[in-house]
Structure 1
């Protein structure tokens, strides 16, 4: 779990840096330049350390460079604010693969409720698409405080809530099915 949070923080570091610098300085050019340089420096640092970088890392850096360049050319922060939406859409598309969640579940859940795991995978994909659309809507306003609230509280909270609901549902389904199997 710690590794997952470290990767997420790494993937969203440029957006966080952009937001912090922009809020402090109100300078789009400075915030974007530092975010783009930071994203490139992350890749260089990882390569120097001999760490293998995944597809998502390269995609994230490419997005930062492309959206950062558009932000610099237009002097409009909304392009950088849209970056998390693209990540949500990409992750949602990956989650459309049938059974993708099965490898992340404990064997007891996989053996007892694979149908629920598959349905949960599609529910997660739908959540990612909804959060991506919400991010674009909020980013289009250009309101950084609203965007920061949406990304941290709404999007983050929705994922935590979805995980908690999924845990409770899986626990109930597995318990009920195991009891029913024991009675039979």
Structure 2
């Protein structure tokens, strides 16, 4: 339970701007208002980290930059296609960042990293694949099923991420427990040899 709470906090915080935007759209709030609310929230997340003297995660900067760019384009042109295309662009950028080894390390207790760090790296690739798949799916829905896009963006991004998050946490927990049992039984070599 401690591991789950440790991971959930940063995940929700890092995604807060997107969550606000998606929930508002899912509730039928005007596109411009949802965009402004998402932008203010994303800026607030970065501002909060800076005010506390913490390092702002790369994904937070990317999220803020993309929200600001698409919000400005939407507000200046009044064209909602900028907002509809934004998730595809964001997912491609985020997916590319997620290809970097070790990006998930901040979401696990430091004492568990030595035990399941390799599993976290594998899940990093799975998360990247989800982002790339989400980018393609968003583009298809935005271009060919435009009327359904607000419902799609209000449900799929959060549902798919929380679904993968549940699988990720469960798999890491079970693998970590199995490794601890084997290690206690003397079946595993020291960490340096793994």
TM above 0.5, yes or no, is: yes
* Distance of aligned partners of 1:12 and 1:83 in 2 relative to their CA distance in 1, 3 Å threshold: farther
Q: Provide the C-alpha distance between the structure 2 equivalents of 1:90 and 1:104, rounded to a whole number of angstroms.
A: 20
Does residue 60 (structure 1) correspond to residue 67 (structure 2)? The answer is: yes
| TM-score, normalising length: structure 1 | 0.72
Q: 2:99 aligns with which of 63, 85, 96?
A: 96
* Distance of aligned partners of 1:92 and 1:142 in 2 relative to their CA distance in 1, 3 Å threshold: same
Name the residue aligned to 1:135.
138
Name the residue aligned to 2:158.
156
Name the residue aligned to 1:25.
none
Gaps of 5+ in 1: 23-30
Name the residue aligned to 2:40.
42
Residues 146-166 of structure 1, C-alpha deviations (whole Å, 9 max, x = no match) = 212322322221111101111
CA shift at 1:173, angstroms? 0.6
Say which structure, 1 or 2, has more relative contact order (CA 8 Å, 6+ apart).
Answer: 2
Tell me the number of residue pairs that the alignment of Structure 1 and Structure 2 aligns.
Answer: 165
Gaps of 5+ in 2: 1-7, 51-55, 187-194
Does residue 10 (structure 1) correspond to residue 17 (structure 2)? The answer is: yes
CA shift at 1:95, angstroms? 0.6
Name the residue aligned to 2:179.
177
* Distance of aligned partners of 1:15 and 1:113 in 2 relative to their CA distance in 1, 3 Å threshold: closer
- 3-state DSSP of counterpart to 1:10: helix
* Distance of aligned partners of 1:8 and 1:116 in 2 relative to their CA distance in 1, 3 Å threshold: closer
Is the 1:112–1:177 Cα contact (8 Å) retained in structure 2? yes
